Amino acid sequence: MKVKITADSTCDLPQDIIEKYNIGITPLYIIMDEKPYKDRLEITVTDMFEYVESGKGMTRSNAINISEYQEYFTEWLKECDAIVHISISNHFSACNQSARIAAEDFDNVYIVDSLNLSTGSGLLVLDAAIMAKEGKTPEQIVERLEELVPKVEASFVISTLKYLRLGGRCSSLAALGANILKLNPCIGVIDGKMDVVKKYRGVFDKIILQYVDDRLNASRDDIDTRRIFITYSEGTSEAIVKSVIEKIKSLRDFDEIICSEAGCVISNHCGPKCLGILFYRK
């Protein structure tokens, strides 16, 4: 049985992984000047940041509708026997609900709510693709993914509250206070929702290493060291990414360290120079 793994563009997997496992990607939209553009296909993160920084306005993201999911599933089923689709958390987007409604028209399309975003979802998508390549049935893949969903640990540190403020997710007063105090919030995904789990004070390049140390500190015995993602938005320097890689290696012996750049939808909310590490707990 040939099972195809598909996911929303918010999974932020590197292109080489998408191509290696023939993962189908359903792109969300970025609305700019009231026109919709498909994430990564019709608009880049650079386009979006330049628009916002020019003062022309704020971009926003938009979910995929039911009919679009139906079209995607219909087309992909021409090349496979079943589809397992992993969506961004239902708390962040209407994508999961729309995909589930669309899947009702098929008896071989399975929908999994990642209860996460970015490579928090990407961890699950990659494991699903590996299982599909190993010949697992869709039922086996879904069962294993549902076991893994609560084990994903996803967090990231943002260097500016501007984009959260412009998007209505943070008050102007809170943003001003954070900027004055040079606070960099660490946002964690808990039960499918985002929350501030810690606030770091200081220069981003330095506090990001403290963040990594906090998440992977030696006192923890619940970290699955199979794989870790370092996911960052545009504006994060190569030097910062390299220093994070070295810091991770000094703390834990992961089988894989995968670097990934955030797409337009995730970047639309976190802004430039944002970095997170994402992995499984045991």
Which tens digit of pLDDT belongs to each residue from 236-269?
999 999 999 999 999 999 999 999 999 999 999 8
Which tens digit of pLDDT belongs to each residue from 170-202?
433 343 344 534 678 888 898 988 888 888 988
> Cα 186 to the chain's mean position, in Å?
15
Q: In this predicted structure, what is the pLDDT of residue 174?
A: 42
Domains of the chain listed by start with CATH number: 3-149 (3.40.50.10170), 151-281 (3.30.1180.10)
Mean pLDDT score of the chain: 92
* 273 vs 266: CA distance, rounded Å: 12
| Rounded average pLDDT over 81-101 | 96
**pTM, to two decimals:** 0.93
| Rounded average pLDDT over 137-145 | 98
Q: In this predicted structure, what is the pLDDT of residue 184?
A: 86
